[in-house]
Amino acid sequence: MQIRSKLFIIMISLVTAAIIVPSVIALNTFTRSLEAEITEELKISALNAMDKLSRLMFERLADLRFLTYPNNTIITNSSDSISLGEKVEYLRQIERANKAYASISIYNASGIKIGDTRSIDIGVNDSGEPFFRNAINGSYYYDSVPAYSRSLGQYVIQFSGPLYDVSNNQSGGVLVLKFPLNKINEIMVEASGTISSDANIELVSTDGLMIYSNNDPKSVLQKKVTGLEILDKLHNSTNRVESDISAVGSGPGGESMNTIFIGSREPGFLDYRGNNWSLILGVGTEDAFRSVSSLRAQFIIVAAIILSISTFLVFLFARSISRPIIKLKDVTNEVSKGNLGIKVDIQKSGGDELKQLSSSLENMRQTILSRTQEVLRANEDLKIKDRLKDEFINVAAHELRTPIQPILGLCEVLRSKIRKGSTRSPKSEEEEQLLDIIVKNAKRLRGVAQEILDVTRIESKGFDLNLETFDLVTLLSNSVTDTREEISKLERNINITFEFEGKLEKETSTILVTADKDKITQVISNLLGNAVKFTKDGSISANVSLNKERNEVIICIKDTGQGIDPTIIPHLFTKFSSKSFEGIGLGLFIAKNIVQAHGGRIWAENNPDGVGAVFFFTLPISGSKSFTIDDES
By mean pLDDT, which of 86-95, 258-267, 315-324, 341-350 is the weakest? Answer: 341-350
Q: How many whole angstroms separate alpha carbon 35 and alpha carbon 140? A: 44
pLDDT: which is higher, 524 or 451: 524
Average pLDDT over residues 603-626: 82
Q: Which helix (H) or strand (E) holds 257?
A: strand 256-265
- DSSP per-residue string spanning 596-629: HHTT--EEEEE-TTSSSEEEEEEEEPPSSS-EE-
Instruction: Give the global pTM.
Output: 0.45
Predicted local distance difference test score (pLDDT) of residue 626? 37
Q: Which residues pair with 470 in a beta bridge?
A: 513
Alpha helices, H only, 237-277: none
Residue 35, Cβ density class (10 Å: 0-12 exposed, 13-18 middle, ≥19 buried): middle
Average pLDDT over residues 503-522: 79
Range from 235-239, 334-338, 499-503 that averages highest in pLDDT: 235-239
Q: Which of 490, 506, 609, 486 is nearest to 559 (CA)?
A: 609
Q: Which of 103, 97, 107 is nearest to 117 (CA)?
A: 103
pLDDT of 127 over the 90 cut = no
Q: What percent of the chain has pLDDT over 90?
A: 10
Q: How many whole angstroms separate alpha carbon 431 and alpha carbon 434? A: 5
552 φ, ψ to 5°?
-145, 160
Q: Pairing relation of β-strands 278-284 and 200-204? A: antiparallel
pLDDT: which is higher, 329 or 566: 566
Q: How many whole angstroms separate alpha carbon 4 and alpha carbon 409? A: 80
Average pLDDT over residues 212-229: 78
pLDDT of 272 over the 80 cut = no
pLDDT of 350 over the 50 cut = no
**Residue 328 CA, distance from chain mean position:** 39
3-state helix, strand, coil in the chain (%, to 5): 50, 20, 30
pLDDT: which is higher, 110 or 84: 110
pLDDT of 577 over the 80 cut = no
pLDDT of 251 over the 60 cut = no
pLDDT band at 113 (very low <50, low <70, confident <90, very high): confident
Predicted local distance difference test score (pLDDT) of residue 606? 92
pLDDT of 568 over the 80 cut = yes
Average pLDDT over residues 234-257: 71
Tens-digit pLDDT profile for residues 451-487? 676 677 777 666 788 899 999 999 999 999 999 888 8
Predicted local distance difference test score (pLDDT) of residue 604? 93
8 Å CB contact between 537 and 496: no
Q: Does the CA dihedral 343-347-353-354 come out positive or negative?
A: negative
pLDDT: which is higher, 606 or 3: 606
pLDDT of 199 over the 80 cut = no
Quick count: other Cβ atoms within 10 Å of Cβ 452? 19
SS3 label, residue 540? strand
Tens-digit pLDDT profile for residues 288-320? 666 777 777 777 787 778 878 877 777 777 667
Q: How many whole angstroms separate alpha carbon 285 and alpha carbon 276? A: 28
Q: How many whole angstroms separate alpha carbon 40 and alpha carbon 34? A: 10
pLDDT band at 630 (very low <50, low <70, confident <90, very high): very low
pLDDT of 253 over the 70 cut = no
pLDDT of 222 over the 60 cut = yes
Alpha helices, H only, 154-209: 181-195
Predicted local distance difference test score (pLDDT) of residue 514? 92
By mean pLDDT, which of 316-320, 348-352, 417-421, 546-550 is the weakest? Answer: 348-352
pLDDT band at 600 (very low <50, low <70, confident <90, very high): very high
Tens-digit pLDDT profile for residues 578-591? 766 566 678 888 89
Predicted local distance difference test score (pLDDT) of residue 540? 92
Tens-digit pLDDT profile for residues 21-77? 777 787 777 777 777 777 788 888 878 888 888 888 888 888 888 888 877 666 666
Tens-digit pLDDT profile for residues 155-198? 888 898 888 776 666 777 889 999 888 887 777 777 655 555 56
pLDDT of 625 over the 50 cut = no
SS3 label, residue 105? strand
Q: How many whole angstroms separate alpha carbon 463 and alpha carbon 597? A: 9
Q: What domains, with CATH codes, occur in the chain? A: 68-182 (3.30.450.20), 371-463 (1.10.287), 464-628 (3.30.565.10)
**Residue 612 CA, distance from chain mean position:** 52
**Residue 473 CA, distance from chain mean position:** 58
Average pLDDT over residues 560-589: 80
pLDDT of 614 over the 90 cut = yes
pLDDT band at 5 (very low <50, low <70, confident <90, very high): low
Tens-digit pLDDT profile for residues 371-428? 887 888 888 888 787 676 666 666 665 666 667 777 777 777 777 777 776 556 677 7
pLDDT band at 632 (very low <50, low <70, confident <90, very high): very low
SS3 label, residue 141? strand
Predicted local distance difference test score (pLDDT) of residue 249? 58
